[in-house]
Amino acid sequence: MSSTPVFAAPSESSVESRPPLLFALPKGRIAEESLALLEKAGLTGPLDTNSRKLVLANTDNSIGFVMAKPWDVPTYVEYGAADVGICGLDVLRESGRRVHEPLRLPFGHCRLSVAGPKDRPDTPLRYASQPRIATKYPRLAQEFFRKRGVNAEVIGLSGSVELGPVLGLADLIVDIVETGSTLRANGLVEIRTILDVQAVLIINRAAYQLKSEQIQGIIERIRAVI
C-alpha cells in the first residue's frame, strides 16, 4: 500500500460519466422488443444501437445501456458488471447464474424442446439407454434426461443443431422451437417441451439491495406496461 500504484485506477472523469445504473440488453433476436419495452416504460428515449460507443446513456444519464451477446447477459448481471439485464429464460436457466428475476416480459416466446426424426419409433424417451443429444443447451439437456434416469450422451454444438440427426451425429436434439418450420424442413418432430421460454428481467443480487430505490422504480415502470 505504501508504494505508488502502477496500474492506474479509472480516472475521475470516466467514473463521473458512468451512469449510476447499468442495464445489459441482448443483441439480436429480442433486442428490438427489449428497447421498445424500455421506451414504453419511459426508461429511455430511442437509443442509437449502431453507435460505436460501448455504453449508451438515457437522456438524464441515470441509466446506461450495454448491448451484449445474449449468452453473456446473465454473466454480466451475476458479477454486477451490469445491475439489470434482459435475457431469455432458456439462456438464464442454461447459465445457472444466481440472479433475481422479478418479472417475465411479454416477448421472446418460444419453447426449449426435445426433437427427433419423424420416423423415430413412438417409444418413451426413457427407453433409450444412451441417446445421443445434439444441443446448444448441454446443462438443461443433461438435467432433463437425468431426471428420467437416462444418462444421455450430450454433444454440445454452437448452432445448426438440427443437422445432428440428419448427419447421424445424434439421435435427438434439444433446441429452441418457435414455429417448428426449421424442424419440419429437416424431417424432425417435436417430442417433448422442456421449458416454456420468454424474456425475463434479471437483477444482480447485491444491486437489488444497494440500489433498491432505482431498481424498484425500474421494476414498477416495466410492470406497468406489460
Partner 1 sequence: MQGQIPFGVADYFWEEALQRQELIANLLATFRAWGYGDVTPPAFEYAASLTAQASASLQAEMYRFLDRDGSTLALRPEFTTPIARLAGTRLHDWPMPQRFCYGGSVFRYVDPQAGRQREFWQAGVELIGAPSPDADAEVLALTAEAMKVAGLTDYRIVLGQIRYFGGLLAALELTPEQADSLRWAIERKSEPALADFLRETPLRTGQRQAVEALPGLSGGDIQQVIDQAESHCLNTEMHRALVNLRGVVDALSGYGVLGSVVLDLTEIRSLGYYTGISFEALAPESGFSIGSGGRYDDLVGHFGPAQPAVGVALGVERLLLARQRQSGQFASLQPTPPHALVISHQNPAALAQVQRWRAEGYRLQMEVNGREMADILVYAKQAGIAQVLVWEDDRFSAFRRQSDGSFESTSGEISFDE
Contacts to partner 1 by CB under 8 A: 1-7, 9-10, 77-81, 99-104, 203-212, 223
Q: With respect to partner 1, which residue has the nearer C-beta, 77 or 174?
A: 77
Q: With respect to partner 1, which residue has the nearer C-beta, 184 or 223?
A: 223
Identify the CA nearest to 157 among candidates 179, 173, 180: 173
- Distance of closest approach, residue 93 Cβ to partner 1, in angstroms: 11
SS (H, E, C) 176-197: EECCCHHHHHCCEEEEEEEEEE
Identify the CA nearest to 17 among candidates 55, 67, 66: 55
- Distance of closest approach, residue 81 Cβ to partner 1, in angstroms: 7
- The continuous run of DSSP H or E covering 75 comes out as helix 73-79
| Beta bridge mates, 117 | 188
Phi first, then psi: give them for residue 128, nearest 5 degrees. Answer: -75, 135
Question: What DSSP designation does 118 have?
Answer: T
| Beta bridge mates, 13 | none
- Distance of closest approach, residue 84 Cβ to partner 1, in angstroms: 12
Q: With respect to partner 1, which residue has the nearer C-beta, 101 or 143?
A: 101
- Distance of closest approach, residue 82 Cβ to partner 1, in angstroms: 9
Q: With respect to partner 1, which residue has the nearer C-beta, 188 or 202?
A: 202
- Distance of closest approach, residue 177 Cβ to partner 1, in angstroms: 21
Q: With respect to partner 1, which residue has the nearer C-beta, 1 or 167?
A: 1
